[in-house]
Amino acid sequence: MTSPVGLHRVVEPAGVLPQAATRLDAGREIGADEVRIRVERLNLDAASFRQLSEKHAGDGAAVRAEVLEIIASRGKMHNPVTGSGGMLIGVVDEVGPESPLPVKPGDRVATLVSLTLTPLAITDGLASWDGRGEQVPCAGHAILFARSIAAVLPDDLDPMLSLAVLDVCGAPALTARVVAGYDRPTVAVIGGAGKSGSLSLAAATRAGAGRTVGVVPVPAERDRLLAAGLATDVVLADARDPVALSAAVSGVLGGPADVTVVCVDVPGCEHGAILATAEGGTVIFFSMATSFAAAALGAEGLAADVTMLVGNGYVPGHAELALSLVREVAGVRDLFSARLTAD
């Protein structure tokens, strides 16, 4: 009997979830509800790769050796310093008879759960990787549990585009759900020109937002977002300045927003987001730089009756929704394509 969250793969310490484990069993034999992936490529988390590269002063061979050592000793690509992982692309190799995942052998998939909890073994010594970029071509296998998530990569999109979209697909899905709970709400997206921000704007519009405003920090982003046509209005403001941010949002909407979505990865945006949101409104925090205490104490200090959501990266149907937005909304596709070209 295997655990749907992978407890049976935890080697140490006993009793924790795979993400909190220091070592997983990455054995290739699968349980009845597991899936084995033939791995083709790892997409290391940016913070993880940066830490490794800086530690080794850009020496690719040393970075490669350490990644190999981490995976061998931990049974997963879980950077012990940054605590982060990444995603992987591969082909489904074997599906256990009781797996609930909607995949079949031969499907090309991306995993939507972090590498920090995915059993992984490498068999080619990472011989095809020079250790100088986040994209790691490789051979090996990975294991998915019953409660893991994988998305089949669509044939009609560039795999790198799909990967970039799937990386942030929780944001548009949760935004759509929240927007649909209001009647034609006004929606402010802080960081509207970024990956999760542009998808969230498109999702809000599709879910019935009455009016949308994208907030960006610099004129170049304003021009890009205006050209993409994803928001009713685009304004410039520093999200860390609560007064400036709320004034900018209220200036174009005629009052605070019903729904505010925080998509910028800089600390200190909590108070501004709360102040920019109407009584009875909702703030969705997608930034990993969000401080729980700053949000909780900030709302209390402002006597702000706003619902504050921790942006959950999983909402059923999130991959399909995000991929449909990039297919059907030209402005989203343009922003993502420009970003991939620039990288």
- Applying CB under 8 A, the residues found at the interface with a second copy are 5, 7, 15-20, 112-114, 116-117, 147-149, 170, 241-244, 271, 275, 285, 288, 290-293, 295-316
Minimum distance, C-beta of residue 26 to a second copy, in the bound complex (Å): 17
Minimum distance, C-beta of residue 59 to a second copy, in the bound complex (Å): 30
CA distance 343 to 338: 9
Question: 140 vs 311, which CB is nearer to a second copy?
Answer: 311
Minimum distance, C-beta of residue 304 to a second copy, in the bound complex (Å): 6
Token digits of residue 106: 């031969």
φ and ψ of 230, to 5 deg? -90, -15
Question: 5 vs 139, which CB is nearer to a second copy?
Answer: 5
Question: 7 vs 226, which CB is nearer to a second copy?
Answer: 7
> Strands 86-95 and 35-44: what pairing?
antiparallel
Per DSSP, the residues of 261-309 read: EE----S--HHHHHHTEEEEEEEEE--TT--HHHHHHHHHHTT---EEE
Minimum distance, C-beta of residue 298 to a second copy, in the bound complex (Å): 7
Which class for 129: exposed (0-12), middle (13-18), buried (19 or more C-beta within 10 A)? Answer: buried
Token digits of residue 92: 């489904």
Question: 149 vs 176, which CB is nearer to a second copy?
Answer: 149
Question: 22 vs 232, which CB is nearer to a second copy?
Answer: 22
Question: 129 vs 282, which CB is nearer to a second copy?
Answer: 282
Minimum distance, C-beta of residue 322 to a second copy, in the bound complex (Å): 14
Minimum distance, C-beta of residue 273 to a second copy, in the bound complex (Å): 11
Contact 320, 154 (CB under 8 A): no
| Neighbouring-strand partners of residue 189 | 214, 261
